[in-house]
Amino acid sequence: MAPPALLPRASTQGDKREVILAAALELFAERGFHGTAVPLVAEKAGVGAGTIYRYFESKEALVNALYQKWKGELLAQVTANFPQTAGAREQFSVIWRRLAEFVLENPHVYTFLELHHHGSYVDAESRAIENRLHDFAVGVIRKAQAEGVLKPVDPELLLTLVHGAFIGVLRACREGRLAVSLEPFLAAEPSCWDLVRR
Amino acid sequence: MAPPALLPRASTQGDKREVILAAALELFAERGFHGTAVPLVAEKAGVGAGTIYRYFESKEALVNALYQKWKGELLAQVTANFPQTAGAREQFSVIWRRLAEFVLENPHVYTFLELHHHGSYVDAESRAIENRLHDFAVGVIRKAQAEGVLKPVDPELLLTLVHGAFIGVLRACREGRLAVSLEPFLAAEPSCWDLVRR
Amino acid sequence: MAPPALLPRASTQGDKREVILAAALELFAERGFHGTAVPLVAEKAGVGAGTIYRYFESKEALVNALYQKWKGELLAQVTANFPQTAGAREQFSVIWRRLAEFVLENPHVYTFLELHHHGSYVDAESRAIENRLHDFAVGVIRKAQAEGVLKPVDPELLLTLVHGAFIGVLRACREGRLAVSLEPFLAAEPSCWDLVRR
Amino acid sequence: MAPPALLPRASTQGDKREVILAAALELFAERGFHGTAVPLVAEKAGVGAGTIYRYFESKEALVNALYQKWKGELLAQVTANFPQTAGAREQFSVIWRRLAEFVLENPHVYTFLELHHHGSYVDAESRAIENRLHDFAVGVIRKAQAEGVLKPVDPELLLTLVHGAFIGVLRACREGRLAVSLEPFLAAEPSCWDLVRR
DNA sequence: CATGAATGAGTTTTCATTCAT
DNA sequence: TATGAATGAAAACTCATTCAT
């Protein structure tokens, strides 16, 4: 029926899982885990309620699949081809811009990830991915400190300040206090460098 | 019944309401609004489930009362006797320290306020208090910018960056990555001044 | 309102639990565990569906409470004041009659107990009561065999034959092939004695 | 595909139906009708869930087909070449042994038949077969009573006692209290004759 | 006033059945 | 013909709210 249907089953198959994940992402980001009823996800995904349980063992499994998928995606996008030998200023700029591009391309993802970071329903594997990203960032900071270009304070503190500031911009965008575009992120970047530089 | 009861009913009255608010605060902060059952709040407060409905019309009314109470408290604590004529650096320091003291004195409050900022169940009045605090901060920033001591960028951006950084420290404390004490806040303060200063 | 209401709360309290157990007994006996929906039990008991979960943690907990209650009752009724020193013939007669009276007084109980003996949802404690009754019966048989009045075969075999025959009569009554009264049981008693006597 | 396919389609056809019936038998015997999910039967049978509905209109139709098949089989096996002219003692022995052989050859069948005897989903035709076996047994008993070798009581009573005793042995085997072999059945046979003989 | 037992609407989850392939 | 993904109706269970005491 579809002329160039080269991978008919495969496409339809994966599509349904993806469509459920996409619907769940948006709803979980907006209403939280407990505030989102499974049938609502089903309706938004355009599938039957029972169908969700063919792809995910439970609502908890769904939220964890979502968490792992996007935390992994974020990790990959931030760390891929990272300029290991570049200077600290350049590295900072790369990470900041990559984060900004990520949140703009995937509007609900960061909200979702932040909101569900604490949930008791988030399992060990989900947290493991979280830690890998954290360790990557601390590694970059330590190296820059060794070079003497960052403030010689607890790397944890520097990381949390910059990350907090980044999330602040994101939230202001979401709440309409700043434009939803690269612009506020780029405007904030030099200030945030001042935050950490020696 | 109480012989020399100077404020008999009133005291008992208020106590019960406060005890409910305190229980709700902790539970809402830890488990979210939808994740917290009203009978659980009652149990933690040591009152009957029905009693909650003598003090609050509904679960939503409870969460809004809580939100307004603490957002108002925060507003008062930050703005009371504010050194209007002091320099920008001093004013920054005062606000930062007051915020830090507030979150350390009321461990669950800020978590609660941040978590419930978005909720669809948060009513107009709750948001109004929110705005007063926001406007106060923007005012302080504008004045400092006029004096030429802050970066001449969108005040909204500066506010959101500093506030984000502050929340970052708070979260790191909560998650055990930084010590739960004034120390990390004081350590962060100069860096955050660098973030905004010209 | 009730003139001699000496124990109003207590009576109402216990009543509800008992009323649920009574409704569940009949339905579980007729339709089995999986064939009986909790709301159906609620309707028959004249309570809300949620009420059942105030008294029993789960449907499984309900069926086990029922099982233990009645297996315990049966054990008590069969073994209470048992004529330990009487002859085997007399003891046989006593047990047989007590069983018959029990099933006639509690029409659904034995059906329920037999039907749910195998269920995977029957817990360890439930089976423990079962075993006590079994051991009692084997003890009586052993003693009678030692006296030489019963066939010198595996007591397990004798027990299972007589018990099976008893259940046969019960089933025939239930299915309308025999009268629902003491009569068929009394008619069967001498035959069943022949079954086991030397 | 199969080169020397003498009965190709038919064999495959029947095989699938039989394989479904065999899977259903075991599951229904172990978990009951309502406790057994159709997809589980399909999985055990090694067919697709939809396939079951090509052979049986519904789950009820499946259980009834199963019931009729095996009740008919039992009827045939018990009554085939029955020694009409033999003495009552011999006839009793034949029936008893045939039943014993049947339950040992078809371990789940009797359990299934007993368990589903009452079910509301068992239809009229299923019960009709049941009755033919019952009538056969009553006929044998009546004749033996006329000869004066059985107790002159309600044939229904004698039948139910012996049948109950037989089921008792079967259950004891299933539950591990007696060996799963002909032995306990043969040991029980003389006792059960005592149960009914004059 | 305070309570907590009771409830039914709503939640998560299962499953008999269908149907496109 | 055989399949198994899809479904929605119904199951078990939870919880915000009420109300008799």
More confident residue, A11 or C155: C155
CATH of C8-56, picked from 3.40.50.300, 2.60.120.10, 2.30.40.10, 1.10.10.60, is 1.10.10.60
Cβ of A169 and B188 within 8 Å? no
**Which string of DSSP letters, residue by residue, matches B24-74?**
HHHHHHHH-STTS-HHHHHHHHTS-HHHHHHH-SSHHHHHHHHHHHHHHHH
Cβ of B167 and A169 within 8 Å? no
Look at residue A4 and tell me whether its pLDDT is greater than 70: no
- C-alpha B129/C-alpha B64 separation (Å) is 11
Note the helical H segments in D80-149.
88-105, 109-115, 124-146
Q: Give pLDDT, residue D7.
A: 40
- C-alpha A99/C-alpha A105 separation (Å) is 10
Give C120's pLDDT tier (boundaries 50, 70, 90): confident
- Asked whether residue B51, judged by its CB, lies under 7 Å from any atom of the DNA or RNA strand E, the reply is yes
- C-alpha C167/C-alpha C144 separation (Å) is 22
Q: Please give the angle made by the CA atoms of D148, D153 and D157, to the nearest 5 degrees.
A: 125
A124-145 exposure pattern, b = at least 16 Cβ within 10 A, e = fewer: eebeebbeebeeebeebbeebb
- C-alpha C74/C-alpha C111 separation (Å) is 13
Look at residue D74 and tell me whether its pLDDT is greater than 70: yes
Look at residue A193 and tell me whether its pLDDT is greater than 50: yes
- Across the range D84-88, mean pLDDT stands at 96
Q: Yes or no: is domain A60-196 CATH 1.20.1440.230?
A: no
CA–C1' distance C111–F2 (Å)?
42
Q: How far is CA A83 from CA A148, A159, A190, C101, in A?
A: 19, 19, 19, 88
Q: Which CATH superfamily is domain C65-196 in?
A: Tetracycline Repressor, domain 2 (1.10.357.10)
Question: pLDDT tens, A99-153?
Answer: 999 999 999 999 999 999 988 888 888 889 989 999 999 999 999 999 999 999 9
Contacts of B168 in chain A (CB under 8 A): 160-165, 167
- C-alpha A38/C-alpha A26 separation (Å) is 13
Contacts 24+ apart (CB under 8 A), C46-49: C46/C19, C47/C16, C47/C19, C47/C20
- Name C150's bridge partners: C197
- Asked whether residue D160, judged by its CB, lies under 7 Å from any atom of the DNA or RNA strand F, the reply is no
Contacts 24+ apart (CB under 8 A), A124-130: A125/A64, A125/A68, A126/A64, A126/A67, A126/A68, A126/A71, A129/A67, A129/A68, A129/A71, A129/A72, A129/A75, A130/A71
Q: Give pLDDT, residue D90.
A: 97
- Across the range D184-191, mean pLDDT stands at 98
Q: Point out the residue among A153, A164, A197 whose CB comes nearest to the CB of B164.
A: A164
- Across the range B67-88, mean pLDDT stands at 96
Select from C116, C153, C173, C194 the residue whose CB has the most chain D CBs within 10 Å, as the one to mutate to test that interface.
C194
- Asked whether residue B12, judged by its CB, lies under 7 Å from any atom of the DNA or RNA strand E, the reply is yes
More confident residue, B14 or B93: B93
Environment class of D154 (CB within 10 Å of its CB; exposed 0-12, middle 13-18, buried 19+)? buried
Give A8's pLDDT tier (boundaries 50, 70, 90): very low
**Chain D CB within 8 Å of residue C157 CB:** yes
Cβ of A169 and B160 within 8 Å? yes
Q: Which CATH superfamily is domain A7-56 in?
A: Homeodomain-like (1.10.10.60)
Contacts of B192 in chain A (CB under 8 A): 161, 195
Nearest-CA distance from C99 to chain D in Å? 15
Nucleotide nearest to A41 (CA to C1'): E12
Look at residue A157 and tell me whether its pLDDT is greater than 70: yes
Cβ of A164 and B167 within 8 Å? yes
Structural contact between residues A154 and B178, judged by C-beta atoms closer than 8 angstroms: yes
Nearest CA to C97 among C194, C189, C165? C189
Give A12's pLDDT tier (boundaries 50, 70, 90): low
Residue C150: strand, helix, or coil: strand
Look at residue B10 and tell me whether its pLDDT is greater than 60: no
- Residue D108 neighbours by CB under 8 Å, 6+ apart: D25, D26, D29, D30
Q: Rounded to an integer, what is the distance from CA A175 to the centroid of its chain?
A: 18
Give C75's pLDDT tier (boundaries 50, 70, 90): very high
Nearest CA to A111 among B33, B114, C66? B114
Q: Give pLDDT, residue B122.
A: 85
- The full set of domain ranges for chain C reads 8-56, 65-196
- Residue A72 neighbours by CB under 8 Å, 6+ apart: A129
Please tell me what DSSP assigns to residue A150.
Answer: B
Average pLDDT value for chain C: 92
Give D13's pLDDT tier (boundaries 50, 70, 90): low
- C-alpha A98/C-alpha A96 separation (Å) is 6
**Chain D CB within 8 Å of residue C169 CB:** yes
- Across the range A84-93, mean pLDDT stands at 97
- Phi then psi for residue B162, to 5 deg, are -65, -45
CA–C1' distance B13–F4 (Å)?
63
- C-alpha B78/C-alpha B135 separation (Å) is 13
Contacts of C158 in chain D (CB under 8 A): 191
Structure tokens at D164: 């109950």
In 3-state terms chain D splits into helix, strand, coil percentages (rounded to 5) of 70, 0, 25
Note the helical H segments in chain A.
8-31, 38-45, 49-55, 59-79, 88-105, 109-115, 124-146, 155-174, 182-196
Question: pLDDT tens, B169-198?
Answer: 999 999 999 999 999 999 999 999 999 999
* Residues belonging to chain D: 198
Q: Give pLDDT, residue A119.
A: 86
pTM above 0.85, yes or no: yes
Structural contact between residues D34 and D40, judged by C-beta atoms closer than 8 angstroms: no
Lowest mean pLDDT among B52-66, B129-143, D111-125: D111-125
Q: Yes or no: is domain D59-196 CATH 1.10.357.10?
A: yes
Question: pLDDT tens, C17-49?
Answer: 999 999 999 999 999 999 999 999 999 999 999
Domain spanning B1-56, CATH class: mainly alpha
Question: pLDDT tens, D104-132?
Answer: 999 999 999 999 998 888 888 888 999 99
* Residues belonging to chain C: 198
Select from C195, C197, C198 the residue whose CB has the most chain D CBs within 10 Å, as the one to mutate to test that interface.
C195
CA–C1' distance C175–F10 (Å)?
31
Environment class of D146 (CB within 10 Å of its CB; exposed 0-12, middle 13-18, buried 19+)? exposed
Residue B150: strand, helix, or coil: strand
Q: Give pLDDT, residue A63.
A: 97
Average pLDDT value for chain D: 92
Nearest-CA distance from D36 to chain C in Å? 9
- C-alpha D27/C-alpha A129 separation (Å) is 43
Structure tokens at B82: 């504010």
Residues 33-62 of A with CB under 7 A from strand E: 34, 36-39, 49-50, 53, 58-60
Look at residue C137 and tell me whether its pLDDT is greater than 50: yes
Q: How far is CA D125 from CA D17, D72, D122, D129, in A?
A: 20, 11, 8, 7
Select from A99, A157, A197 the residue whose CB has the most chain B CBs within 10 Å, as the one to mutate to test that interface.
A157
Give C13's pLDDT tier (boundaries 50, 70, 90): low
Contacts of A161 in chain B (CB under 8 A): 165, 168-169, 188, 191-192, 195
Look at residue A13 and tell me whether its pLDDT is greater than 90: no
Structure tokens at D101: 């052989």
